[in-house]
A and B are shown apart, each in its own frame.
Chain A
Amino acid sequence: MLRNELSQTILEVKEITKRFGGVEALRGVSFKVNKGEVVGLLGDNGAGKSTLVRCISGIHPPDEGEILIAGKAVKLDSPMDARKAGIETVFQDLAIIPEFDVVQNLYLNREILSTNPVLRWLGWLDAKAMAKRSQKSLNRLSSRIPSLSEKIVNLSGGQRQAVAIARAVSWGAEIVIMDEPTAALGVEQSAQVNELIKLISSQGVAVLLISHNMQHIMETCDRAVVLYQGRSSADVAIRDVDKNALVSLITGASGSLLAESA
């Protein structure tokens, strides 16, 4: 299950801190993610997971510390910056438009325009081209979405997740971050999302996965980074630990454990 440990680091986070008024949400978080690796980001409620994700996806920049993509320090001041750097985020509350269909969501703010220069200047959409390319990128994900012209409101939770994940990877993202992608899903649909995560990682995409579900983490992740009160307190290979060990790391019952693999 563990991929080549010598493979190239795609994302590195160095000593990130983030304060909200008096609250120190992050007080020094460091870890690395390699290409094609699935890394679980664990921690109790309020440990700072979502805050960290927002820093990496450009929603709010960190106060201190560095984010490196493929070894180069980047400044992520907006979601667009993060997107350009190859980071896509599947948010906890799914950033999709319920009244839009699948294609419209996949291409939101990246619409393909008509090739006719006049129409292009007007911002005329090329719906056909978008439908065609969506079909391609969804096929690659052996998708379970019934129809591309289906509105999101008519899809199940698992299908919505699939759309959000498809959108992330169809843009050639190298790093996909998922904040509790299965929190609202049943057993079968969670399994489908897990499958999807493995599939995209096998295509070389690095995945940073937040989940409170230990089973989910054990099944999908190669490595786990644990946050404890705003600090990265442990970094372990999943093959070296069991569920109970992870739980005690999360609750802080066992001390700091920083794996050499990091």
Chain B
Amino acid sequence: MSTTTSSLTRSDWAARLLKPQYFIYYMFMLVLAGFALFLNDTGFFSLANFMNIVRQTAPITIMAVGLSFALAVGHIDLSIGSVVALSAIVGAILLQYVGVPLAIAGALLSGVLVGLINGFLIERLKVSSLLITLGTMGIITGISRQVSGLESIPIIDPLFRSLLGNGDLLGVPVLLWWTLSFALIGYLVMNKLVFGRHLLAVGGNPEAARAMGLRTENIRIKALVMCSLCAAIAGLLYAGRMAGARYTLGEADLLTVIAAVAIGGTSLFGGRVSIIGAVIGSWLMGLINNGLILSGFSTDEQMITRGLILITAVAIGAREAKNA
């Protein structure tokens, strides 16, 4: 009951600096320093390489921001990887008939649609988001494979490719602009806007949120739409950078995105979100991937590493939850 406020002692400072939400920054710097030491002759520690990492990671970062919305309300969305492919394929096919704006709109609409379907099914059937989105993931992947005939659909439109892929704006890659824009939007929504406040309330204590008059079902559906929409944008960015769409896009991203978000300090059980953590987490995943490649590790070993990171992050999160 009594709280004494005296000047901070040394151990208080230690406790502050060791707060779990700072874990991601220490981890990031540790990994960076580690690779910089071991790979000092490979050009790892160069602006060009870091730009490269940020560009390659852009879709992951945006998906991580999107997944934060779903996690805020206490949902998980396993269908994001499949939405990446769907959106890219829809965009690429539409580009054969219509201009860039309509193609983008169509691709984004496919994402919104998936979010709405996920949301309505979860609320109607009162089934966990894990199972529903596992189901929609299967369905969407099947549709993408069928529609594309397992072929890659090339994109030749130069505007699309530069706007969503390899273009520059003011000397900075567009992919970095996209990343920063979505990080900023996600941060503002979650921390400054009433919508984010309500998302976190629903995730933090749904009964209380309802008792205070929040329309919890609507809020949860909106969160899933935001999540899917971000995945659709990620799909467009892949399509832009790779100059084509393929059903395999985003296939292996689910693990990376969840690990990035979890290690960034967002609770996988709702109510606590760190957008900055998710962005740094995604860059950490990109950094590790890049470092492992330069160190000569195989794709398989990279995958094993990602799995280990996720488990570590979840273990830390669980310990923190017990202490709270």
Q: Footprint of B on A, CB under 8 Å?
A: 59, 78-80, 83, 89, 91, 93-100, 104, 108-109, 111, 113, 122-125, 144, 146-147, 153, 156, 158-159, 188-189
Q: Is the CB of A109 within 8 A of B200?
A: no
Contact between chains at A109 and B198 (CB < 8 Å): yes
In the assembled complex, the Cα of A97 lies from the Cα of B205 at a distance in Å of 5
Complex: A144 Cα to B208 Cα, angstroms: 23
Evaluate contact between A123 and B213: CB separation under 8 angstroms: no
Whether B212 pairs with A99 at a CB distance below 8 angstroms is no
**Given A95-B208, A96-B208, A97-B208, A108 and B192 contact (CB-CB distance below 8 Å):** no
CA of A103 to CA of B104 in the docked complex: distance in angstroms?
Answer: 41
For the complex formed, measure the closest distance between the CB of B267 and the CB atoms of chain A, giving whole angstroms: 8
Please, which residues of chain B bring their CB within 8 A of the CB of A156? 1
Q: Give chain B residues whose Cβ lies under 8 Å from the Cβ of A188.
A: 1
> A109: which of B1, B192, B212 is its contact (CB, 8 Å)?
B212
A95 touches B212 (CB 8 A): yes
CB <8 Å contact, A111 and B213: no
**With A100-B200, A122-B193, A125-B193 given, is the CB distance from A95 to B211 under 8 Å?**
yes
A111 touches B194 (CB 8 A): yes
Given the contacts A78-B213, A158-B1, A96 and B193 also touching, CB distance less than 8 Å? no
Q: Which residues of A contact B272 (CB under 8 A)?
A: 99
The 6 A-B pairs of least Cβ separation, nearest first, read: A95-B208, A95-B211, A123-B194, A97-B204, A80-B213, A146-B3
> Which of A80, A83, A109, A159 has the most chain B CB atoms closer than 10 A to its own CB?
A109
Asked if B214 CB lies within 8 Å of chain A CBs, one says: yes
* Contact assessment for B209 and A97 in the assembled complex, using a CB-CB cutoff below 8 Å: yes
Q: Is the CB of B207 within 8 A of A123?
A: no
The A interface, classified by DSSP as helix, strand, loop or mixed, is loop
The smallest C-beta distance from B140 to any residue of chain A, in angstroms, reads 31
On whether A108 and B193 interact (CB within 8 A), knowing A97-B201, A97-B204, the answer reads: no
Note all chain B residues with C-beta closer than 8 A to A89. Answer: 211
Hey, which chain B residues are within 8 Å of A113, CB to CB?
A: 194
Tell me whether B324 and A153 are in contact (CB under 8 A).
Answer: yes
Besides A95-B207, A123-B195, A124-B192, 20 other A-B contacts (C-beta < 8 A): A78-B213, A80-B213, A83-B213, A91-B211, A95-B205, A95-B208, A96-B205, A97-B204, A97-B271, A98-B205, A99-B271, A99-B272, A100-B201, A104-B197, A108-B214, A109-B201, A109-B213, A125-B197, A156-B1, A188-B1
Complex: chain A residue closest to B272, CB-CB? A99
Which of B193, B201, B205, B272 lies at the interface centre, i.e. has the most chain A CB atoms within 10 A of its CB?
Answer: B205
Within 8 A of A (CB), among B173-215: 192-195, 197-198, 200-201, 204-205, 207-214
10 contacts between A and B (CB under 8 A): A79-B212, A97-B205, A98-B271, A104-B197, A108-B208, A109-B213, A109-B214, A111-B194, A122-B193, A125-B197
**Residues of chain A lying within 8 A (CB to CB) of residue B205:** 95-98
What string of 1s and 0s marks CB contacts (under 8 Å) between B143-167 and chain A? Answer: 0000000000000000000000000
Most buried by A among B198, B212, B214, B324: B212
Residues in chain B near residue A100, CB distance under 8 A: 200-201, 204
Q: Is the CB of B193 within 8 A of A124?
A: yes
* Chain B residues, CB < 8 A from A159: 1
Please give, as numbers and ranges, the residues of chain A lying within 8 Å of B200 by CB-CB distance. Answer: 97, 99-100
Nearest to B324 among chain A residues (CB) is A153
B201 — which chain A residues lie within 8 A by C-beta? 97, 100, 108-109
Q: How far is the CA of A113 from the CA of B198 in the complex (A)?
A: 14
Please give the distance in Å from B6's CB to the nearest CB on chain A.
Answer: 14
